[in-house]
Structure 1
Amino acid sequence: MPAYTVREWDKLSYGDGEGQIPAHHADRLAALAARSVFAGRGGDGVLEHGRHALRARGVVGILAAGDASLEILPKIDVAPGETPNHQNAVIRKRLVHMLAVALDLKIDLGVITDLAWQRETLLEILIRIFCDKLTTALRKGMPRRYLEREEDLPTLRGQLDITRQFTRHAVNSSRLACRFDLLSEDIALNRLMKAAVVRLLRVSRRSTNQQRLRELAFIYADIADVPPSALRCDEVVIDRTNRSWQELFAMARLFLQNRYQTTTGGAGQGTAMLFEMNALFEEYVGRLVVRALAGTGLAVSLQGGRLFCLSAQDSGGALFQTRPDILIRQRGRVVHVIDTKWKRISARIDDPKQGVTQADVYQMMAYAQLYGAPRLTLLYPHHLGLGAEDAVHACHRITGHATILETASIDVGSSADILTRFRSLLIGEASEGLMHV
């Protein structure tokens, strides 16, 4: 299968040469992208289907249609001078790191060789990680639970269901209406795992992944086949007896129905696994802020607050609810509001406003009014044009208020000391005074 790669907001021109995509492949992939929930009303929220090129937008992941696939990678700065394959490998690793943080997964990125990061697509790498984790977990045994069963048997097992006995078998005393608990492997968690294995077996193109998935499918042969649309994730029980399956549960949902991703099926239609970078960046930052501020006395709320901008005088209702990405509280009071934005801002020397939109500023001013926080932060991904290190780039005082609005960036291209860097950004010397206002 021909595999093509493009980075977020870049173009992939039509043609048969190196770094190009044949027009017939582009047409199929663009048609698949247009059916995604991220496509928007115009159908180009994932890919712009231009006259001369495909242009990726703010959604990353994998599209596969017909005999071709397209990998869309996020626009993350990497070391200049490296080959495109090496740069793409670094970006894949950073994206998997972001997914691991957002989904609370423990993934050892070092077990995958540099060559594999370069040769395999994001989807194949995620499948490989899933197979590794699932194989390791199954060596310790498949999860089982007691399920309540009702059967009509010749001898009593468990308890007699008197009501059913005297309504169904009133004239047939040879059958007993039994109710009993059966220790079974055919439970919601295993059905979810089997559905993920079956689905991945259809979309994987790497022979090694296909072989491992076939072996896993054989292990799950006695588990009921349930289509993804009929799976009941709410019936999955994760407790102390199967806590080690929490990560696999999250990964299976990622492949089947995770909120970041959409899947389109059907004969000849193709498949897609897509992630909206705005949502992924927000979740990634939120999880890291929670970890960075643990033990500091500061409480973190993600998508909290939910205060309304307006109160209707005639009906007494409320209008225009707010949902700040991150609220940081100290002794119950909101002291810091953070809103994440997955877009590249300019250095102040190039643009005093740094490309911050008026709508973003108005939004933060509304947060200042409603939540009374002395510090507001618009947080962006860092890039080399902003300097060597992530930092607070500008601080502004809102007119007529003591509230500070700042723009800052965090380097998602480097996982080294990420919690230390977040902690410094949030409660460094420059902000300690605000935290105690």
Structure 2
Amino acid sequence: MPAYTVREWDKLAYGDGEGQIPVHHADRLAGLAARSVFAGRGGSGVFEHGRQALRARGVVGILAAGDASLEILPKIDVVPGETPDHQNAAIRKRLVHMLAVAFDLKIDLGVITDLAWQRETLLEILIRIFCEKLTAALRKGMPRRYIDHEEDLPNLRGQLDITRQFTHHAVNPSRLACRFDLLSEDIALNRIMKAAVLRLLRVSRRSANQQRLRELAFVYADIVDVPVSGLRWDEVVIDRTNRSWQDLFAMARLFLQDRYQTTTGGAGQGTAMLFEMNALFEEYVGRLIARALAGTGLTVSLQGGHLFCLSAQDNERGLFQTKPDILIRRGGAITHVIDTKWKRISSRIDDPKQGVSQADVYQMMAYAQLYRAPRLTLLYPHHMGLGPEDLVHARHRITGHQTTLETASIDVANGTDILTRLRRLLLSEEPKVDYAYA
């Protein structure tokens, strides 16, 4: 199966040469992308389906259509001078780390060899991790729970269902309508695991993963096969008896729910697992900040606030609700509002405003008015053009407010001491303000 890789915002030219994609493959993959939930979002979408090339946008992941697949990797700075395979391997590892943090997964990246990071796509790596974790969990036994069970028996077991007894067996008293608790493996959690195994078996192209998935499907042979739309996610309770299945449940949700789309029919037939980098970066940074500030007396809320910019004159109904990415409080008072932006800013040498958009500044000014926090931060991904430091680059004062607006960056390519670096950013003393935003 031909597999192609392109990085976010880069182009993949049409053709049959190295680093190119045949037009018929590009058309099918673009057709699949057009059916994604990310298609047409504010002009972002998944691809620009141009005349000469496919250009990736702000969505990463993998698409498979027909006999070809395309992997989209985020634009993360890696060590220059290395081969593309080594660079892509480093990006895949950082992306899996970001997914693990965002979805609260415990994944040991060290169990995947360097060669596998180079040769396998993001999807195959995630399938491999899922298979290994599921196999290890099943060796300790499949989860079981007591469920309500009804059965007609010759002898009483549990309680007699009076209503069913006198409606169904009024003329045949030799059968008793029994109702009792039965310890069963055919429960919602196992049905979800089976659905994930069967889904992945249909989309995996690596023979080793296919073999693992076939073995797992055999283990789940006695579990009822339920379509994804019929799975009862609400019936799954993770407690002390099945705590070891928490990561697997989260991974199954990753494969089967919103961010994992399956499309069939016509030119768009295929499967896609896609992630919007803006949302992923926001969730990743938010969870890391919550960890970094643990024990400091500060509390962190993600997507909180919900204050309205306007209220209707006739009925005071709120209009234009705000949802800051990250709110930091001390003793109930909001002290810091952070908004993450997955976009590249420039250095102050190249542009005094660093390429920060007017709309982003207006958004933060609205937060200053509504939340009265003394400190606002626009947080971007760091890149080599910003220099060696990945912390605060500039601070400004918002006119008419005792509020500081700062631009900062965090290096997601460097996982070393990232919690320490975030803590230093958030707890740093404020230097002299540069100039005011009017």
TM-score where L is the length of structure 1: 0.96
- Equivalent residue for 1:263? 262
Aligned positions of 1:163-312 closer than 5 A: 163-257=163-257, 259-266=258-265, 269-312=269-312
- Equivalent residue for 1:138? 138
Asked if the contact 2:44–2:58 (Cα under 8 Å) also holds between the matched residues in 1, the reply is no
Q: SS at the partner of 1:241? A: coil
2:149 counterpart of 1:149 = yes
Aligned positions of 1:18-417 closer than 5 A: 18-40=18-40, 45-257=45-257, 259-266=258-265, 269-417=269-417
Asked if the contact 1:35–1:43 (Cα under 8 Å) also holds between the matched residues in 2, the reply is no
- Name whichever of 240-249 and 42-51 sits farther off: 42-51
Q: SS at the partner of 1:183? A: strand
Q: SS at the partner of 2:309? A: strand
Structure 1: any 5+ residue segments left out of the alignment?
Answer: 432-437
Partners of 2:76 and 2:44 in 1: how far apart?
22
Partners of 1:172 and 1:367 in 2: how far apart?
73
Residue deviations 1:198-231 (CA, integer Å, cap 9, x gap):
1111111111111111110100000011111221
Instruction: Tell me which amino acid in the other structure corresponds to 1:60.
Output: V
Asked if the contact 1:256–1:263 (Cα under 8 Å) also holds between the matched residues in 2, the reply is no
Partners of 1:7 and 1:302 in 2: how far apart?
28
Partners of 2:43 and 2:303 in 1: how far apart?
28
The alignment of Structure 1 onto Structure 2 pairs a total of residues equal to: 430
Instruction: Tell me which amino acid in the other structure corresponds to 1:74.
Output: P
Instruction: Tell me which amino acid in the other structure corresponds to 1:243.
Output: R
Aligned-residue offset at 1:323: 0.5
- Equivalent residue for 1:420? 420
Q: SS at the partner of 1:77? A: coil
Aligned-residue offset at 1:170: 1.9
- Equivalent residue for 1:17? 17
Asked if the contact 2:11–2:53 (Cα under 8 Å) also holds between the matched residues in 1, the reply is yes
- Name whichever of 51-60 and 414-423 sits farther off: 414-423
Asked if the contact 1:34–1:44 (Cα under 8 Å) also holds between the matched residues in 2, the reply is no
Residue deviations 1:169-217 (CA, integer Å, cap 9, x gap):
2222111111000000010000000011011111111111111111101
Partners of 1:20 and 1:81 in 2: how far apart?
21
Partners of 2:337 and 2:44 in 1: how far apart?
32
Instruction: Tell me which amino acid in the other structure corresponds to 1:360.
Output: D
Partners of 1:143 and 1:266 in 2: how far apart?
37
Instruction: Tell me which amino acid in the other structure corresponds to 1:50.
Output: G
Residue deviations 1:223-262 (CA, integer Å, cap 9, x gap):
01111122121111111100110000000111111x4443
Q: SS at the partner of 2:354? A: coil
Partners of 1:42 and 1:364 in 2: how far apart?
20
Asked if the contact 1:307–1:323 (Cα under 8 Å) also holds between the matched residues in 2, the reply is yes
Instruction: Tell me which amino acid in the other structure corresponds to 1:59.
Output: V
Q: SS at the partner of 2:263? A: coil
Partners of 2:42 and 2:191 in 1: how far apart?
37
Divergent runs of 4+, >6 A: 41-44
Q: Sequence identity, in percent?
A: 84
Residue deviations 1:68-94 (CA, integer Å, cap 9, x gap):
000000000001000000000000000
Aligned-residue offset at 1:358: 0.9
Aligned-residue offset at 1:267: 8.0
Partners of 1:396 and 1:419 in 2: how far apart?
25
- Equivalent residue for 1:430? 430
Aligned-residue offset at 1:367: 0.6
In angstroms, what is the RMSD of aligned CA positions? 1.3
Instruction: Tell me which amino acid in the other structure corresponds to 1:307.
Output: L
Aligned-residue offset at 1:430: 3.3
